[in-house]
Amino acid sequence: MPRPAPRPATGSSACSRNRSARPRWTSRSGPTCATRCGRRSCARSRPPTRTSASGRGSSTWRPRSRRPRRQPCEQHLCRADRRRDALRARRAAPVVVGEDPEVPAAGRVRPALRGRPRCGRAGVVGGDPVSRLAGKVAVVTGGASGLGLATVLRFCAEGARVVAVDLNAESGKAMLSGAAAAGVGDAVRFVAADVADEDDVAAAVGTAVAEFGRLDVMFNNAGVGGAFGPVTDIEVEDWDYTFAVLVRGVFLGTKHAARVMIDQGAGGSIINTASVAGLSGGAGPQAYSSAKAAVINLSRSTAVELAEHRVRVNAICPGVILTPLLHQGREQQMRELLPTVQPWPDHGRPEHIAGAALFLASADSEFVTGQAISVDGGLTAVGPDLGNRLQTRPGDAGLVGVNRGQTGVRSQIRRRVGDPGPR
């Protein structure tokens, strides 16, 4: 992509390296360049002198705060100024990630992202280009599929370098190809590892430090459905496997990431994937639901413990998200069914969780720790949904009014304006 010509810099962007070289604002002999080039036509020059309002001669001295801002001439923009201006111009075009749910996430990253990922080309907030994870290093477990894969790509698009960890090496290869196609291949490493194994987790965290020099974000996300069936029939081994992946995996990720983050002394963010199933009893098998509840409280308790090191710990509770774990091969059927399970009229997508993870990973959530954030299209907000289940929602019958209970004052009920009434 051709680089746009540098924009004329504003006065406030004068090169800080030249600051010491700036002349004091005292010469009366006419304008000179702020970089001491001596050119009177230089735009960095001070404006023409004016006679003071008091009429006391031609003194042009005025307090620093009231002096007009100086503009650097093109010739005297330092290299850093030019680079910064060119970068700002390039950042101005937003990158769209996750706009079209039908297109695989990796293919959705703008071609502008191709090549080595650079800071500040990923998102636009309020018209200002931002790169919310520039310079950050993250580990994402379960990073080869579903929520983890979407998060790896989103983090990279936001300037992070990422180590994706997954048990499935085949998916890992596909993830690397997708990342390369998206132009962020240089920013991603893959480690085949089992999150339930301490040596594997320690090695994965070590890879982040060895490859990228540090660790700022740990996303403990790998998961499986685990044991299912009647509680009377569940094997201990299956129960333990479920907890090993879902809870021990989060514990180990937290333990080894926190060690590095504490040593670095620069804080960090640990994000754990829990589930809405961890908030109630009716949203998943017993083992899964119990394990996810454990993840929520593990997040809270480690948040309290690690706060003094400025290491934040939060959990994300996804609702129903269309991933291989959920659809298990019945993708089309689920795609049609899912929009009906929660108030939000579209199905949940991995990119929705990646967006929440980005918020928790970035400085935007600096004061957020120990929270379990539901990302569920309103699924938990519905609660028991009794009005629906008992069919006691008068609004559904086109009625509106006020129920005054047993007060002795008459309740009022009327048909909604424009309602045709019972057929």
Instruction: By CB under 6 A, name the binding residues for ligand NAD.
Output: 141-142, 144-148, 166-168, 171, 194-196, 221-224, 245, 273, 275, 318, 320-321, 323-326
Backbone conformation region of residue 149, classed left if phi is above 0, alpha if psi is from -120 to 50, else beta: alpha
> Of 218 and 320, which has the nearer Cβ to ligand NAD?
320
Rounded to whole angstroms, the Cα distance separating 31 from 61 reads: 13
> Of 152 and 261, which has the nearer Cβ to ligand NAD?
152
Say which of 288, 303, 352, 365 is annotated catalytic: 288
> Of 44 and 292, which has the nearer Cβ to ligand NAD?
292
Nearest-approach distance from CB 105 to ligand NAD, in angstroms:
12
Closest by Cα among 249, 244, 251, 253 to 226 = 244
Nearest-approach distance from CB 361 to ligand NAD, in angstroms:
16
Nearest-approach distance from CB 211 to ligand NAD, in angstroms:
18
Would you call 241 a catalytic residue per the annotation?
Answer: no
Q: Which residues contact 39 (CB under 8 A, 6 or more apart)?
A: 32, 33, 45, 73
> Of 323 and 362, which has the nearer Cβ to ligand NAD?
323
Q: Where are the alpha helices (DSSP H) in 49-197?
A: 79-91, 146-157, 169-181
Compute the Cα dihedral for 197, 274, 190, 161 and give only its sign.
negative
Task: Identify the bridge partners of residue 166 per DSSP, sorted by sequence position.
Answer: 192
> Of 144 and 157, which has the nearer Cβ to ligand NAD?
144
CB 52 within 8 A of CB 60: yes
Nearest-approach distance from CB 214 to ligand NAD, in angstroms:
22
Rounded to whole angstroms, the Cα distance separating 57 from 50 reads: 10
Nearest-approach distance from CB 376 to ligand NAD, in angstroms:
9
Nearest-approach distance from CB 97 to ligand NAD, in angstroms:
17
> Of 75 and 333, which has the nearer Cβ to ligand NAD?
333
Nearest-approach distance from CB 254 to ligand NAD, in angstroms:
14
> Of 129 and 223, which has the nearer Cβ to ligand NAD?
223
Rounded to whole angstroms, the Cα distance separating 222 from 325 reads: 11
Backbone conformation region of residue 5, classed left if phi is above 0, alpha if psi is from -120 to 50, else beta: beta
Rounded to whole angstroms, the Cα distance separating 311 from 300 reads: 12
Backbone angles phi, psi at 416, to 5 degrees: -65, 145
**DSSP 3-state of 256:** helix
CB 313 within 8 A of CB 370: yes
- Tokens 């700036």 belong to 22
- Helices and strands, number each (H, E), in the chain: 12, 11
Rounded to whole angstroms, the Cα distance separating 6 from 13 reads: 13
Q: Which helix (H) or strand (E) holds 387?
A: helix 386-389
* Residues forming the active site: 288
